Amino acid sequence: MLDLSWLLIAVPLASAFVLLLAGKRANSWGHWMGVAASASAFLVGLIAFLQMISRPADDRAINVHLFEWIPGGEMHLDAGLLVDPLSLTFVLLITFVGTLIHIYSVAYMEDDANRRIFFAYLNLFVAAMLLLVLADSFLLLFVGWEGVGLASYLLIGFWNFKPEYATAAKKAFVVNRIGDIGLIIAMGLMFAAFGNLDFDTVFGGVSGASEATLTAIGLMLLLAATGKSAQFPLQSWLGDAMAGPTPVSALIHAATMVTAGVYLIVRSAAIFNGAPDARVVVAAVGAFTLILGAVIGMAKDDIKKALAASTMSQIGYMMLAAGLGPIGYAFAIFHLVTHGFFKAGMFLGAGSVMHGMNDRVNMRRFGALRAAMVVTWVTFGAGWLAIMGIPPFSGFFSKDKIIEAAFVGEGWQPWVFGLAALIGAGLTAFYMSRLFFMTFHGKARWEDDQHPHESKLMMTVPMIILAVGSAFLGLILASGDRFVDWLEPVTGHAEHGEPVIAPMVLIIATLVLVAIGIFVAWRKYGVADVPIEAPAASLITIAARNDMFQDSVNRAVFQRPGQHLTRTLVYADAAVVDGAANGTAAGIAKTGEVTRKMQTGQVRGYAATMLVGLVILVIIVVQGGL
């Protein structure tokens, strides 16, 4: 079955094409075909996984050769898949969560006339994402990377008849393009340094490369990762990406695509191991984004945007872990998997709430939905407990390990990164509790036409499964270091580092901060009345409501000067380049205007001119003594 892993990509891709090309006649069964394509990809992945664990640990990287791709003299690149524990982890996460979200979407998108196209895009996304994680070269990875970017663009703008949604899609695409430049430059550097782009050549040649080269490649890979994973400074697109249908937010902008940056870093572990400086930058970006996202999440009233800020913050945790090096890689992926479950679950819960509330997203008009939507309340609660890291929910095992690993090291780094991770845990508890209490507890602040109701079975069942995963997955994977051992062939063996603070103290400190966060949120949003209009607030809250004015900064620093630059260039093109061409033509025409006057048509005039010319010639000849 491992040799057939190309089916993972081929099946959803074929399904996407059929759905797009079949037209309206596929409307009645198209969504089921989409579900089936995703589910069969999951089955293939599951069988591959079962075969994989029956192999010895050091023989778990299988190269599946697909075809000769670029046979170009000295550079010879084949398209192939690399099936190893890391890629299989992603395959299982993508296809499992993906299938659940496909099923959820069948009900969620029921009333949409374009449901078939929605499923085609979803399948396209699954295929591209699987290509991204299975590729055995950076170039093939880039194909998947662009594929998910395209699918993300199409799905954010799925309701593009609303201009602001179309703008959001465009924004996501353009911001991602900046990150893509990083990946392209990184590939160029790799090609210059190693001569080829497949993982074997690149990672095999790392030991012979200078640290400066590796640092440059690492930083460019980081730029790519910040774009895709919505990390500072390219995080501004994620909030607007919530314009897409909620299942899209759950699958692409929470569970899978946005984690591609973390995958890229962990996959390039060999490069980052040789570039400690680049790793510190990765960790710093992660630590900064996790605080930034948390602060933004505390101020948002839009339930989906609050969750998006939370995604940003949680991916910050993963980036931080990935930047810590070998001790963090496995935990980054661990947190990625558990986050995939609980965040997708919570997004589906948010979708369920929106379904019950006529697609409204303002949490200030929610409240007391616990009674009306019991299943949503319970499943969302599981995700809520998981993201805060309450034991024994899954977030506890993954996030606590990251906090512990962040405190390992010497000098200033463990204190800065560790404290950021620790404070982030407290902030997470506050903003998630705020979201939870504002939505499900307190007094009902519904508008008059609201009649909240529980969603259909087809929506609640995926939520229940994801909630179960949020609750127990961490425990299952963490017991006996099962997950870390599983990833060890890829991430390398990590020396156990001793944190600068005792682990037990850290766990207690984390839980105390979380408890404080929950308590403050309960006092403010559970017990007290929540004003329907956002109250006047401090400067930092206003900044957080406006995404830390990142859009304004981008506009002032990049967009406006860019526009001025293009305008100047257009003007220069018109004035200088066109001016030179047009000016020459005009000058020649003018000269013609003047000289044609000399052609009088008078024969005697011509004769006189000739005579004068002759006389002048004679004078010259005589004077010059020629």
Partner 1 sequence: MDPISFVYLAAILFAIGSAAVLTRRNAIVAFMGVELMLNAANLALVSFSRIHGEVDGQVMAFFVMVVAAAEVVVGLAIIIAVFRTRQSISLDEPAELRG
Residues that bind partner 1 (CB under 8 A): 595-604, 607-608, 611
Question: Cβ of residue 595: shortest distance to partner 1, in angstroms?
Answer: 8
Question: Cβ of residue 594: shortest distance to partner 1, in angstroms?
Answer: 10
Per-position b or e across 522-550, b if 16+ CB within 10 A of its CB:
beebbeeebeeeeeeeeeeeebbbebbeb
DSSP type of residue 4: G
User: How many residues are listed for the chain in this entry?
Assistant: 626
Nearer to partner 1, 569 or 608 (CB): 608
Q: Is the peptide bond before 392 cis (omega within 30 degrees of 0)?
A: yes
Q: What are phi and psi of 63, to 5 degrees?
A: -95, 125
Question: Cβ of residue 599: shortest distance to partner 1, in angstroms?
Answer: 3
Burial class (CB in 10 A: 0-12, 13-18, 19+), 313: buried
Nearer to partner 1, 580 or 610 (CB): 610
Nearer to partner 1, 192 or 614 (CB): 614
Nearer to partner 1, 586 or 607 (CB): 607
CA dist list (Å): 106 to 273, 281, 452: 44, 42, 20
Nearer to partner 1, 603 or 622 (CB): 603
Report the C-alpha dihedral over residues 86, 90, 92, 93, rounded to 10 degrees.
140
Nearer to partner 1, 607 or 617 (CB): 607
Question: Cβ of residue 177: shortest distance to partner 1, in angstroms?
Answer: 59
- Other CB atoms within a 10 A radius of the CB of residue 233 amount to 17
The Cα 118–Cα 111 span in angstroms is: 12
Question: Cβ of residue 597: shortest distance to partner 1, in angstroms?
Answer: 6
Nearer to partner 1, 23 or 605 (CB): 605
Question: Cβ of residue 591: shortest distance to partner 1, in angstroms?
Answer: 13
The Cα 223–Cα 177 span in angstroms is: 11
Helices of type H across 389-481: 394-406, 413-440, 457-478
Q: At which residue do the structure tokens 């993906």 appear? A: 98
The Cα 205–Cα 210 span in angstroms is: 10
- CA atoms 123, 124, 126, 127: torsion sign: positive
The Cα 106–Cα 110 span in angstroms is: 6
The Cα 500–Cα 253 span in angstroms is: 35
Structure tokens at 49: 């996984």
DSSP type of residue 529: P
